[in-house]
Amino acid sequence: MVTKNDIDIFIEKIPPTPKVLQATMILVNNGELSKAAKIAQSDLALKSYLINLVNKPIYGFRTEVSDIGQIFGILGLPASQQTLYNYMLTLLSPKKWELFKLNEKTFGELQAHLSLKWKKILEHLDIKDKEVESAITLLPASIIVAEALFSNVKKDVDLLRSVHHLDYNTILKRLCGTSIFDICVQIANKWDMPEEISEIVYSSSGLNPSSNKEIDILAKWMHLLLFYELSKPMFVEASLNDFIDFQIDYVTDIYEEFSKLMEIE
């Protein structure tokens, strides 16, 4: 079965970022969106990803947007950085999902919905921080890791789930002494994200509140967002809701505010 060492080895083997993507990310991080667009234009796969992303119905554009400079302008600095992290995930995603009932389209929908709603939350909280906005990419990344690890022992995992009625997160904890949120932290470290980003995502499990008040508030909003999205029928069917145990006591103070915000189109 899977061990903690298997997780460490897999994350360590995550390939380096392709050169064009790496150059684009550096320019975006420096706030040079026009230069970043010119570099991104030369990578046909990245260009196609960006065009397909912003033309999803959830973005609400009536006519197709195909100019990369315009796309980066529409997304803005924080969302552009987050989008590039999401693109990195498409390079890591399996061609065929074996464990979770996902495909390229549904995984892309998960990324898009989490990204846009997290951006909406940060705007509501008046937080403008591209690193914080990119934090939401870590859970989808950890789902890819879980898929890669467990798909090789799918029969054993299915047996544990059917006989002992265990969810995927519990199986992870029992076999490896780690959770999906621990994997998020490892990936954040691999991607050299700031420590506060790891702490936000780790605390968003609702089981490990941060002593830092600002970080803990963000973690509460993320907890609600993850539960809100992963409870949708598409992702329940895919078994992704296994990873979030709703901690109502943790988020009581912002639950009503969150609910009202999600109702606003």
Per the structure, the complete domain to which residue 134 belongs is given by 4-263
* Domain harbouring 101, CATH code: 1.10.3210.10
Tell me what pLDDT residue 56 has: 81
Q: What is this structure's pTM?
A: 0.83
What is the residue type of 29? Answer: N
Residue with tokens 């499990």: 205
Tell me what pLDDT residue 55 has: 86
Write the burial class of residue 232 (CB in 10 Å: 0-12 exposed, 13-18 middle, 19+ buried). middle
Tell me what pLDDT residue 15 has: 63
Residue with tokens 């796309």: 71
Number of domains in the chain: 1
Tell me what pLDDT residue 265 has: 62
Helix ranges restricted to H, 18-164: 19-29, 33-40, 44-54, 68-92, 104-124, 130-134, 138-150, 154-164
* Tens-place pLDDT, residues 73-96: 888 888 888 888 888 888 888 889
Tell me what pLDDT residue 260 has: 95
Write the burial class of residue 254 (CB in 10 Å: 0-12 exposed, 13-18 middle, 19+ buried). middle
From residue 225, alpha-carbon distances to 94, 139, 231 in Å are: 25, 12, 10
Give pLDDT < 70 ranges for the chain. 1, 15-16, 265
